[in-house]
Amino acid sequence: MLREARSAAASPPPPPPPPPPPPPPPANEPPVITITAPANGSSFTGPVTLTATCTDKEDGTISNKVTWRSNRDGDLGTGASITKTLSAGTHTITASCSDSNGNTVTSQITLTVNELLVRLNWVYFNFDKATLTKAGRDTLDRVIGTLKEKADWKVAVEGHTDPYGSDEYNQKLSDSRATTVVGYLTKAGIDGSRISQKGFAEACLVLDDDHAKPMKTKKAHGVNRRVEIWSVGNAGTSASCRQ
Q: What is the DSSP letter of 71?
A: T
Show which of 79, 113, 147 is a domain's final residue.
113
Residue burial 26-55, b: 16+ Cβ < 10 Å; e: rest:
eeeebbebebeebeeeeebeeebebbbbbe
Residue 87 domain boundaries: 32-113
Q: Tell me, what CATH number does 125's domain have?
A: 3.30.1330.60
3 state SS of 190: coil
Q: Are residues 125 and 74 in the same domain?
A: no
In a domain, 17, yes or no: no
Domain count, the chain: 2
Show which of 113, 128, 162 is a domain's final residue.
113
In a domain, 26, yes or no: no
CA–CA distance, 40 with 100 (Å, rounded to integer): 29
Angle between helices 134-149 and 167-187 (to 10 degrees): 60
Q: Are residues 90 and 184 in the same domain?
A: no
In a domain, 11, yes or no: no
Show which of 113, 148, 171 is a domain's final residue.
113
Res 3: pLDDT: 55
Label residue 13 by pLDDT band (50, 70, 90).
confident
In a domain, 77, yes or no: yes
In a domain, 156, yes or no: yes
Q: Are residues 142 and 203 in the same domain?
A: yes
In a domain, 145, yes or no: yes
Q: Are residues 140 and 214 in the same domain?
A: yes
Least confident of 116-120, 126-130, 167-171, 197-201: 116-120
Res 89: pLDDT: 87
Q: Are residues 101 and 134 in the same domain?
A: no
CA–CA distance, 192 with 36 (Å, rounded to integer): 37
Least confident of 19-33, 157-171, 185-199, 210-224: 210-224
Read off the pLDDT of each residue in 56-61 and give the average, rounded to a whole number: 94
Res 214: pLDDT: 46
Q: Are residues 216 and 136 in the same domain?
A: yes
Q: Are residues 45 and 123 in the same domain?
A: no
The predicted model scores a pTM of 0.57
Q: Tell me, what CATH number does 80's domain have?
A: 2.60.40.10
Q: Are residues 126 and 227 in the same domain?
A: yes
In a domain, 190, yes or no: yes
Q: Are residues 80 and 126 in the same domain?
A: no
Res 209: pLDDT: 60
Q: Are residues 225 and 135 in the same domain?
A: yes
Q: Name which residue leads in pLDDT, 231 or 37.
A: 37
Q: Are residues 221 and 138 in the same domain?
A: yes
Read off the pLDDT of each residue in 21-49 and give the average, rounded to a whole number: 89
CA–CA distance, 110 with 48 (Å, rounded to integer): 12
Q: Are residues 100 and 126 in the same domain?
A: no
3 state SS of 82: strand
Residue 236: left if φ>0, alpha if ψ -120 to 50, beta else—which one? Answer: left
